[in-house]
Amino acid sequence: MRHILPLLCLLAAPAQAEGVIIVSPVYAQLVAAAVPADFKPGFEHEENGSYLLELTPKTESVDHWTQMITLSGAKGLSATMAPVDFASQIAKGYQAACPTTFSARALPVPQIKGVPEAFAGYLGCGDTGGQSEAMVFVVLKGAEDIYTVQWAEHGPAQTHPMEPDPALWRPRADTLALARVCNKVEGEAAPYPSCTQ
């Protein structure tokens, strides 16, 4: 069942020239991420220690999309899992979907406010059943939880592993690097100004 929980806050404050900041309380902390202004939340769900928020361009949906930005949270994993290990689990899922057209690249790790450790990467799946899927992502180690921010794109199916095009993916990776993780402030409600300054 797809629904929007009242956890997400969209702010008018610019993240970049054409972007906004989304802030969501995810388990122990607040997570802020920059998204283009023409993206909208389409699906938000929390269950059994797993949080998921999916955003797509306003003309698309989470069922039919060319681009998607995803914010996720895994409750309580910070003490037992490093960001690189969490990234490896994501990569294994991609590889299982397209073993002959899978590609992966580690990216320079950005300095992200409020995060002691992070990992950044690119994953490509040349054919997931009639289309390709590629993404850049960052994995963030929070005080108690692990968070990710991902920017994925669908395209025509490929018969070979996909190499990242720097002109396309570098700006998206730079946008993801604007994420931050903040401690909750007692009594503070949306729009969570402590995490947007």
Question: SS3 for 168?
Answer: helix
Domains and CATH numbers, the chain: 9-195 (3.40.1000.10)
How far apart are alpha carbons 83 and 138 in whole angstroms? 9
Nearest residue to 2 via CA among 48, 40, 42? 42
DSSP code string of 90-155: HHHHHHHH-TTTEEEEEEPPP--BT-S-EEEEEEEES-SSSEEEEEEEEEEE-SS-EEEEEEEEEE
Please determine, for residue 176, whether its predicted confidence score (pLDDT) is greater than 80.
Answer: yes
Cis peptide before 83 (omega within 30 of 0): no
21-57 confidence digits (pLDDT tens): 999 999 999 999 999 999 999 999 999 999 999 999 9
How far apart are alpha carbons 17 and 3 in whole angstroms? 30
129-167 confidence digits (pLDDT tens): 999 999 999 999 999 999 999 999 999 999 999 999 999
How far apart are alpha carbons 146 and 126 in whole angstroms? 28
pLDDT band at residue 16 under the 50/70/90 scheme: very low
Question: SS3 for 60?
Answer: coil
